[in-house]
Amino acid sequence: MTAEEFNHIQTAHCENGVTVNLLKMKGLDFFTEPLAFGIGAGLFYIHVPFLKINKGPAISFRSMPGQIFKRTCKSLDIDVVHKRFKSTENAQSFLDDKINAGQPVGCQVGVFHLMYFPKSYRFHFNAHNLIIYGKEDGKYLISDPIMEVTTTLTEAELEKVRFAKGPFAPKGHIYYPEKVGEISDELLRKAIVKGIKSNVRMMIQIPSVRAGARGIKFTAGQITKWRSKHGEKKAGLFLGQIVRMQEEIGTGGGGFRFLYAAFLEQAADKLQDDRLIKISEQLTKSGDLWRDSALQMAGIYKGRITSQKDFEDSANILKEISALEKEAFQDLKALKLKY
């Protein structure tokens, strides 16, 4: 497939983007990134236990990698193919067969060796997603959803990122939707409601203080202890880490919250239910507060404000967000949505 035949769509988040691009190829013209994110129940918060990154907190603002594509396809009765490989040769020949047959595929990669990324963004993060849609002059044609335009990788470059090592090692992971039936309005409404219900469970019903809306409050509690425990500098670096995780490319400033708000807006339209608009507004408010918290934290790690009170102010914004997201998802639950 050539670049003209493949219609690259840029999105905020990589996995949403791969899902949207691949499903559009299969004829789902109406499909959007917010729909993928909502049906795939992508919104989440977790302060991961036991795991430390640079001796600081490990935090995630969304569900486990791979979940969005999987849940979205399952809810829409779409059959998917997943393949992982032990041998690099098999991984490449399987890929070549697919793209020769005109089937663009989603591919999980590590970003550390991803050459078209800016150097400062290249950490050992192994759950990035892109689409490979063709091959020209020995180079793979790549549609990376977070990039404005398509790009290319040599065989060696692609092999390196497909076989990146460490946590979440991709092992050449390739996936694509195989059989897409007719997506009726009813099926779509059902998928939307199902996605919302899954997300309600994830945000307010997991029995752990570290997960969902409660997890945000947990982090707030930790932040108030950091300055006396680790000193100004280290505590500031930890805050920077929170902001960086909130700020993967394209999800800037609580971007996942805005994305979910956009999903609820579209859901209100598809389900003909205006009550969802009010909850969309709550998520917008939450996204705005995440942005405020990042600015407050930036003040600290830039060394402009460093007193204990400044740390507490950051924590207080997170507490406010925690309460707001808890309320929003309780409201969503109380709607008892039907399709």
Partner 1 sequence: MKKDELPQDKGDLENFTREVCYVKNKDGKYEKGLSTGWEAKQAALDNAWEEIERVVAQTKESVLNGKVSPIKYYMELQVMDMPVLAGYTGFWSWQIKRHLKPKVFAKLSPSKLEKYAKAFDITVNQLTEFK
Residues 34-63 that bind partner 1 (CB under 8 A): 34, 53-54
Taking contact as CB under 8 A, which single stretch among the options 94-102, 115-123, 178-186, 322-330 is the one that binds partner 1?
Answer: 115-123
Is 21 among the residues that bind partner 1 (CB under 8 A)? Answer: no
CA separation (Å) from 312 to 56, 58, 225, 234, 271? Answer: 18, 20, 9, 16, 41
* Binds partner 1 by CB under 8 A, chosen from 118, 207, 272, 338: 118
Is 313 among the residues that bind partner 1 (CB under 8 A)? Answer: no
56-62 and 128-136 strand pairing: unpaired
Q: How far is the CB of 143 from partner 1 (least distance, A)?
A: 13
**How far is residue 134's CA from residue 139's CA, in Å, rounded to a whole number?**
8
Q: How far is the CB of 233 from partner 1 (least distance, A)?
A: 9
Of 77 and 159, which has the nearer Cβ to partner 1? Answer: 159
**How far is residue 94's CA from residue 336's CA, in Å, rounded to a whole number?**
45
Q: Is 94 exposed, middle or buried (0-12, 13-18, 19+ CB in 10 A)?
A: middle
Taking contact as CB under 8 A, which single stretch among the options 20-28, 110-118, 185-193, 206-214 is the one that binds partner 1?
Answer: 110-118
Count of C-beta atoms within a 10 Å radius of residue 222: 16
Rounded to the nearest 5°, which phi and psi values hold at 61? -105, 5
**How far is residue 165's CA from residue 170's CA, in Å, rounded to a whole number?**
8
Q: How far is the CB of 241 from partner 1 (least distance, A)?
A: 7
Is 241 among the residues that bind partner 1 (CB under 8 A)? Answer: yes
How many CA within 13 A on the CB side of residue 40? Answer: 30
Taking contact as CB under 8 A, which single stretch among the options 199-207, 213-221, 289-297, 328-336 is the one that binds partner 1?
Answer: 289-297
244 Cβ contact list (under 8 Å, min separation 6): none
Taking contact as CB under 8 A, which single stretch among the options 65-73, 89-97, 119-127, 323-331 is the one that binds partner 1?
Answer: 119-127
Contacting residues toward partner 1, per CB under 8 A: 10-12, 34, 53-54, 112, 116-121, 123-124, 146-149, 165-167, 169, 236-237, 239-241, 243-244, 247, 249-250, 252-253, 255, 258-259, 261-262, 265, 284, 287-288, 291, 294-295, 297-298, 301-302
